[in-house]
Structure 1
């Protein structure tokens, strides 16, 4: 294994344009002989490469075998990008080879200047003067040469004779390498015999063309004349092709990289059977034509999205976008766009049917798992207060309806009546809890609801409470000072394109502003990001590149240097992240779509208070932050469901040394009495608790013991709880519940228009449209295979969340006149450099023996 000892990480030079450089770390070491040794490290799997050029790493990322080990951790989008880059290099290689064949009288130096202006390839002057030397960084032909033989025909393209007279002029004018491809419009679907015109060496007198050593000269006839295949390119079917002088580079398969290709591919390279090449079907569009076609498609999509003012992050976050593209592509030229009446008619009707079918599948699980009623309040742009009602269960969340609450939102009695009506609509036996905002009128209505229905609980939204805790943390004087210093750094960096590009090079494509779920969460996720990238940022501001940048000499630039070089700032920044990371973890747990949060939220808050106590040690110091948590969480501390979820989660229950605290056991009993109305069943549940304590029967199997950490709590009870069926039934219902409301994008759905439409038929149609829109948004949260991708911090799609971190109160005049956003390098999002992707719940660990936390819990309960 290659050691990194003695090597120092350095930023990748901006002159290195190959896309693979964005996915590696570069290390350099000075050797005694004065030569710098260079290593490249894959940021995904950590494999270190010594030598072989950037193309070896590109093949590694692309998963293309034959040029060293491949990476099995490369993200799919990166792998596709690397494959396209390799294929582009192969296409460029074929193009240049055809030019060499078409210009046999050019000297190596002339061809070298003509075809290697941008450093992609050059010719070696030597015994084999036609040998092409591959520059790995751009050409991208790996050892196996996959894809090279499939489209290579060894036939020079028709090129006008004016090339010979104009070549020198083009070179002197600094024009990039000439493109000899045929007209793009004709080339899009052109077959071999149309795209490449064959000319036999024997017909030179008639056609005006000639041949030297079997190579067809360029024709000076204005229009190419296709003739039957019978030229020197297909004469020799056994040995070396007679069509190329000094063709060692075609004969030696290893040199061209064809050792692993199939026989027919090698035949086409050697020119053994041009008929086979022609009969193999039409040649695929070359890379450039494909790119042009994709660009035209992307421009069409872009114009449509811009015109309708759609949020641009839908192309990243909607699971329906790519299937729509695939469906259109599969229809080919016969595809016809739906009409306005179609979208309002049969298409909407079918969509409503599909959504209702999904809802019925959800409802079938409610009897077993129970459900939570979510009541989300939000304000429209015109000031109306709307309430959206949704139901959550392990199968996902479904939207029920929307109510205009502008005239009764502050009336607990009116709120109670609406809540009561919806609970009855869903089914009282199915609803375990009703989750609302934390405002007082909802608390009053919620308590009345619990009195009316003794088998459910009212609960404020846990995510809202945690966000309020983070807001209060940010108001602490020393924490607020750290946030403001960090903001001054990010505002300066994100204001200047040059500085922002420089920062992304030194952080290997990562942004230092990291979006959180809310504006207050963003404050602390960004501080953590900066702490993780501390050494990268310090390397940047001490580099020659920074010193030579004119922006670094401004007062703001000098202030940034002072902050990033200040030990006190970094120690405070790191302490803030240690205090708030546990709370951010709880926020992510309660908002997770992967698992129900009820079995984890109590442990999460416990761990947050434990971490704060461990970091600050002195009681008078950590009690400041405990008091903030208790004040915002007090309405949730007394909720028995959270403690019962902790009790019934085998991961935590069996990790406690000794007996559980009395407060947890007491709240477990509260849940039994409330959620199990039958007294006889209550008694059975109490008996079965002793079996759970002692891990009797299947609960104590080695399989069950190992599964405590691997299975979701509800699945664990479903699998191993047969020896205590009544307790298992209760555990599954409790552990299947969420703790927060859905964070939807209501402003993108026409709720307000729904409540002002007067025509009853149109109102019904619009109601169905909203029903489909919201449920499709909720459904995609469950079916997404990965977390929502980050949107860039300076993207206007998320501007409200990161505004304090990237915008100035007044933009400087020179930037306002010439922002130059087109020269901005996009972030690559290589978060693997910073941390491993770990399940948030796994970080809660084991061991809950701090009595002081439970004593505080009892005090808060008494105050409530």
Structure 2
């Protein structure tokens, strides 16, 4: 060891000198740390300045040279002045209000822009909520991101309390079966012949099984096709045994869960029990019970009352069972037919549960009014004459073919075996064909045909050429037109109709029968 190293060792051996050396080394580290932090800060600022270029909207627009506030869309070549990239994104997403939407942007690009705007609004809303919760400002909040192994498939935390879901393919591509959506590559490459063969396979199944074509309008038809297409060509349909056992059991459980979710609505808003009696093709007397709430109508049960007498006590017991199933505190209303036994049963139920009120069905009441009007002699005579004309025309193919050649011809509605509104609908239909029928009986083809010599033809010609018949038909149709219009409203399932009923009563619907009796019908 030389002399300098020996002096340095003696200098460091002193405790005071060692402390001074440690302070000197600490000052040097702090100086180098400040330089490193300054460089890091400069690098962070450069990253933040270039972060805006990472927006997905920059792929579909460019900045105009000489200004940073004007952007040009690459699809429609439109210039967007002011607003920055967010306004350009609204232009691409087709969001109206602030900027005109782009008409030439592809569907997938528009879908991505819409999803990006939704994500931005959600992040903005979360940041606003955290600002309100933190009195010291959102800038003081920072969350430590989870390790990559734990953050996979979960929400990744970022600074300022913002959370963004991990990206996936569903964030960039729109659904393939919605109207206006872009098809997949495989379906796009399929030719018209392949698509036609697939359509024929679906149609062949419908026609072979005698399934009504209206089943295609079911909300479950397209999801079924989507589920099959998602699995691929290796999918095998369910067996007959699976359909009648496990699948039926699972769907029954699904319906039960849906009804259980409705029970919460019944408790919050109350509900109405509706009883509908009808007769099937086997002459069985059935009563369907449904529960109505603002969320929708739920079918509860169907009771076969063929082997019992449907008196008031029997109906009241059925109503009690249903009330106990739904919950006595949840039921506020009971709606049944206007029959005497149903009316008495509703009164008996009100005695047991004072909070449950009974009211007749508005559609049934209107049907009874039309039935009473149809029993009048003048109406029954008009219905008989109209039926005579209709049967004569439709029983002779030559006459029907002659009428179908008339411009604007539509089929005559023939009355069915019912006591309600069909009679008045048939009168309205034959009144609309007045000129066609008169042209038929006065035509040269009809007079020279052998049908003109038929014994029933004279009666038909007399009815068609009778002006009193047509004037009485027109009068009856005008009288019952408001009732028919109101019947269509209350007999629909699309919206609640009680408000329309009160509006019709306010307009004088209840006085139509009285006015009808005073009309000068000849």
TM-score bucket (shorter structure): 0.5 to 0.7
Deviation at 1:569, TM superposition (A): 1.0
Contact 2:286 2:302 in 1 (8 A): yes
Contact 2:215 2:221 in 1 (8 A): no
Query: Aligned equivalents of 1:346 and 1:547: distance in 2?
Result: 68
Deviation at 1:425, TM superposition (A): 1.9
Q: Secondary structure at the match of 1:400?
A: strand
Per the alignment, residue 457 of structure 1 pairs with 357
Q: Secondary structure at the match of 1:365?
A: helix
Per the alignment, residue 333 of structure 2 pairs with 433
Deviation at 1:390, TM superposition (A): 1.2
The verdict on how the C-alpha distance between 1:340 and 1:281 changes in structure 2, with shifts beyond 3 A counting, is closer
Q: Is residue 355 from structure 1 mapped to residue 255 from structure 2 by the alignment?
A: yes
Q: Is residue 327 from structure 1 mapped to residue 235 from structure 2 by the alignment?
A: no
Per the alignment, residue 210 of structure 1 pairs with none
The verdict on how the C-alpha distance between 1:301 and 1:461 changes in structure 2, with shifts beyond 3 A counting, is same
Query: Aligned equivalents of 1:566 and 1:374: distance in 2?
Result: 47
Once the two structures are superposed, the pairs formed by residues 359-508 of structure 1 within 5 Å of their partners are 359-367=259-267, 369-379=269-279, 384-506=284-406, 508=408
Once the two structures are superposed, the pairs formed by residues 537-576 of structure 1 within 5 Å of their partners are 537-543=437-443, 546-547=446-447, 550-576=450-476
Per the alignment, residue 213 of structure 2 pairs with 315
Once the two structures are superposed, the pairs formed by residues 146-157 of structure 1 within 5 Å of their partners are none
Per the alignment, residue 303 of structure 1 pairs with 208
Deviation at 1:342, TM superposition (A): 1.4
Q: Secondary structure at the match of 1:594?
A: coil
Deviation at 1:507, TM superposition (A): 6.2
Query: Aligned equivalents of 1:418 and 1:283: distance in 2?
Result: 59
Q: Secondary structure at the match of 2:421?
A: helix
Deviation at 1:323, TM superposition (A): 1.9
Deviation at 1:475, TM superposition (A): 1.8
Deviation at 1:528, TM superposition (A): 1.0
Query: Aligned equivalents of 1:421 and 1:432: distance in 2?
Result: 15
Per the alignment, residue 608 of structure 1 pairs with 509
Per the alignment, residue 40 of structure 2 pairs with none
TM-score (norm 2): 0.54
Query: Aligned equivalents of 2:251 and 2:395: distance in 1?
Result: 45
Deviations 1:587-645 (A, max 9, x none): 21221122212222244356334445556656xx79xxxxxxxxxxxxxxxxxxxxxxx
The verdict on how the C-alpha distance between 1:516 and 1:361 changes in structure 2, with shifts beyond 3 A counting, is farther
TM-score (norm 1): 0.34
Query: Aligned equivalents of 2:381 and 2:464: distance in 1?
Result: 14
Contact 2:387 2:415 in 1 (8 A): no
Deviation at 1:473, TM superposition (A): 1.7
The verdict on how the C-alpha distance between 1:447 and 1:521 changes in structure 2, with shifts beyond 3 A counting, is same
Query: Aligned equivalents of 1:563 and 1:353: distance in 2?
Result: 61
Deviations 1:503-559 (A, max 9, x none): 344363522106799552111111112223323433444445555655455333443
The verdict on how the C-alpha distance between 1:351 and 1:508 changes in structure 2, with shifts beyond 3 A counting, is farther
Contact 1:373 1:391 in 2 (8 A): yes
Structure with bigger RCO (C-alpha 8 Å, 6+ apart):
1
Q: Secondary structure at the match of 1:459?
A: strand
Contact 1:416 1:448 in 2 (8 A): yes
Contact 1:546 1:552 in 2 (8 A): yes
Once the two structures are superposed, the pairs formed by residues 51-66 of structure 1 within 5 Å of their partners are none
Query: Aligned equivalents of 2:451 and 2:235: distance in 1?
Result: 53
Contact 2:383 2:423 in 1 (8 A): yes
Deviations 1:287-345 (A, max 9, x none): xx95x99678645533322xxxx7xxx43377439927972996586564431111112
Deviations 1:145-171 (A, max 9, x none): xxxxxxxxxxxxxxxxxxxxxxxxxxx
Query: Aligned equivalents of 2:304 and 2:458: distance in 1?
Result: 53
Once the two structures are superposed, the pairs formed by residues 678-693 of structure 1 within 5 Å of their partners are none
Deviation at 1:576, TM superposition (A): 1.3
Q: Which of structures 1 and 2 has the bigger CA Rg?
A: 2
Contact 1:434 1:459 in 2 (8 A): yes
Q: Secondary structure at the match of 2:508?
A: helix
Deviation at 1:434, TM superposition (A): 1.2
Query: Aligned equivalents of 2:446 and 2:271: distance in 1?
Result: 57
Per the alignment, residue 338 of structure 1 pairs with 238
Please, what is the CA RMSD of the aligned residues? 3.8
Contact 2:387 2:414 in 1 (8 A): no
The verdict on how the C-alpha distance between 1:394 and 1:514 changes in structure 2, with shifts beyond 3 A counting, is farther
Query: Aligned equivalents of 2:254 and 2:298: distance in 1?
Result: 13
Query: Aligned equivalents of 2:410 and 2:288: distance in 1?
Result: 37
Query: Aligned equivalents of 2:518 and 2:335: distance in 1?
Result: 36
The verdict on how the C-alpha distance between 1:532 and 1:544 changes in structure 2, with shifts beyond 3 A counting, is same
Once the two structures are superposed, the pairs formed by residues 219-238 of structure 1 within 5 Å of their partners are none
The verdict on how the C-alpha distance between 1:322 and 1:448 changes in structure 2, with shifts beyond 3 A counting, is closer
The gaps in structure 1 that reach 5 residues or longer are 1-279, 623-864
Deviation at 1:438, TM superposition (A): 3.1
The gaps in structure 2 that reach 5 residues or longer are 1-187
Query: Aligned equivalents of 2:227 and 2:325: distance in 1?
Result: 43
The verdict on how the C-alpha distance between 1:406 and 1:284 changes in structure 2, with shifts beyond 3 A counting, is closer
Deviation at 1:411, TM superposition (A): 4.2
Q: Which has the higher helix share?
A: 2
Per the alignment, residue 520 of structure 1 pairs with 420
User: How many residues end up aligned between the 2 structures?
Assistant: 331
Once the two structures are superposed, the pairs formed by residues 459-858 of structure 1 within 5 Å of their partners are 459-506=359-406, 508-513=408-413, 519-543=419-443, 546-547=446-447, 550-605=450-505, 607-611=508-512, 617=518
Deviation at 1:450, TM superposition (A): 0.9
Deviations 1:18-39 (A, max 9, x none): xxxxxxxxxxxxxxxxxxxxxx
The verdict on how the C-alpha distance between 1:337 and 1:553 changes in structure 2, with shifts beyond 3 A counting, is farther
Once the two structures are superposed, the pairs formed by residues 188-337 of structure 1 within 5 Å of their partners are 284-285=192-193, 298=203, 301-305=206-210, 314-316=212-214, 319-320=217-218, 323=221, 327=225, 331=229, 336-337=236-237
Of 412-421 and 546-555, deviating more is 546-555
